[in-house]
A = this chain, B = another copy of it.
Amino acid sequence: MTEQDVRDVLNGRRAQAARNDGAILAAARKVFVAEPDAPIGAVARAAGVGISALYRRYPSKEALLATLCLDGLRQFVAIAQTAREVTDPWEGFVEFLRGIVDADVHSLTVCLAGRFTPTPEHRALAMQAGALADGILRRGQQVGAVRADIESTDLPMIYEQLAAIRHSDAEHIRELRRRYLDVHLAGLRAVAISYGELTGRPPTQAELGARWNRTT
């Protein structure tokens, strides 16, 4: 058994399949985060496998999306729980938002919702996620760090706005999102307290102008 396991790790049909499991899920995440209604063939290509390798694991596109979304929700909960451990309420709030935005969890959850029939598990996790976020927000408000006229239903709108930033490659997107999250945070800070310098650089003229250059 041991010897076989070792072989399985390196080559062997079964090991390859196991590796494909991860590759497919990772590719799906990348593809669907970038383009929520990408064709399923794009996922296969990104994973470097054929379409059938994909259908062997998920009976339909919908099932794949549902799985992906479930992952996203779990990630959301994990991020929120980590942020809750931070002692300073404001710091925790900031870490929470940064975590959500960096991991692009919003694209994995809300942007995918509506494209598959949610299971009770989806709903339960979504509710838990909401409750956690609510707690983090309230804690920040109670110590006067976060402005009081924000409600927990405002938070998804913040993620949504930041998730709408979709320029070029993933690396650059993260940088831009962090920049504008800083603006949001400055706006969310309780009255008359500045949050600090912006991080990252704004987009360049060339990047923005690219949209006007189609010639086909």
Q: Which A residues are closer than 8 A to B by beta carbons?
A: 110, 113-114, 116-118, 122-123, 126, 147, 149-151, 153-154, 156-158, 160-165, 176, 179-180, 182-188, 191-195, 197-198, 202-205, 207-209, 211-216
Nearest-CB distance from A62 to chain B (Å)? 10
Bound CA–CA A198/B146 (angstroms): 13
Bound CA–CA A202/B153 (angstroms): 6
- Let me know if A149 and B197 touch, CB within 8 A: yes
The closest CB in chain B to the CB of A192 belongs to B194
Bound CA–CA A110/B216 (angstroms): 17
Bound CA–CA A153/B215 (angstroms): 23
The closest CB in chain B to the CB of A182 belongs to B187
CB contacts (< 8 Å) of A165 on chain B: these are 157, 160-161
CB contacts (< 8 Å) of A164 on chain B: these are 160-161, 163-164
Q: Would you give 15 A-B contacts (Cβ < 8 Å), ordered by A?
A: A113-B214, A117-B215, A151-B202, A153-B202, A156-B203, A157-B203, A160-B165, A161-B165, A161-B180, A164-B164, A183-B188, A184-B187, A187-B188, A191-B194, A192-B192
CB < 8 Å neighbour of A154 from B147, B194, B202? B202
CB contacts (< 8 Å) of A208 on chain B: these are 153, 156
Bound CA–CA A210/B122 (angstroms): 13
Bound CA–CA A84/B163 (angstroms): 31
- Let me know if A157 and B117 touch, CB within 8 A: no
Bound CA–CA A162/B157 (angstroms): 10
- Let me know if A183 and B180 touch, CB within 8 A: no
The closest CB in chain B to the CB of A216 belongs to B117
Bound CA–CA A184/B204 (angstroms): 21
